[in-house]
Amino acid sequence: MTDRVAIVTGGGSGIGLATTTRLAEDGFTVAVLDMAPEAAAGPAALTVRCDVSAEPDVTAAVAAVLDQFGRIDVLVNNAGITGSRQAARCHETPVDEWDKVQAVNVRGPFLCSRAVLPSMIARRSGHIITIASVAGLVAFPGRCAYTASKGAALMLTRSIAVDYAADGIRANAVCPGMVYTPMTSWRLDQPDLLAAVEDRIPMGRVAAPPEIADAVALLASGRLGYMTGHPLVVDGGMAAL
């Protein structure tokens, strides 16, 4: 049996890797579920190759974590995609692009939450933290599929918070603004596009992954024990405009 155990999906890069590192530093035993988990092998105690949109993968991965560590205290639903450049305005978005984004960003958190909840219910303790986005609160122009998926992820969080509070389980979301990660670098590495993004952020810069990991770590610490169903916005003031 191990003290506090956390699962981080998409923990092999970007916000997920920063979160894995931070939670390990805070004393968590961290299991990473990722399509390419090798990058997280350093800070992670266990890495499992997992497609979060595939039920058999998720079921097997969660079972592996429970078999090795005996418990799951925190699930961080971090795995996500923005979709290709084709996933733009509604009438321009191919159906297969829409489906890919929803599969990872909505079906993924649903499957992972569904898989960990029985063990959390049995222990009457647990915290599910989903990385949503400011795009779940305000629409990102030209990103129909992504915006819709993050709105759904936020409402999934609230649904879990309402349904499982009596079981001692909390659910919260972290809503980042623009963060420099491998997923966003194609855009933010272009000076003109970076300038356009920064013009929309009162703090005048995009975030770094460890800044989002700080928010996850705060929630995971248990210090905000009365908070559930809440979107914690970490966006440099972007949504305040």
Structure tokens at 208: 């770094």
3-state secondary structure of 30: strand
Q: Is 180 tagged catalytic?
A: no
The one catalytic residue in 146, 164, 180, 226 is 146
Kind and range of the H or E element at 216? helix 209-220
C-beta separation of 1 from 25 below 8 A: no
Compute the half-sphere exposure of residue 235: CA atoms within 13 Å on the CB side of its CA: 24
DSSP string, 148-207: HHHHHHHHHHHHHHHHHGGGTEEEEEEEE--B-STTTHHHHTSHHHHHHHHTT-TTSSPB
Q: Residue 82 contacts by C-beta under 8 Å, 6 or more apart in sequence? A: 101, 143, 146, 183, 184
Q: Quick one: residue 2, left, alpha or beta (phi over 0 = left, psi -120 to 50 = alpha)?
A: beta
Give the residue numbers marked as catalytic: 146
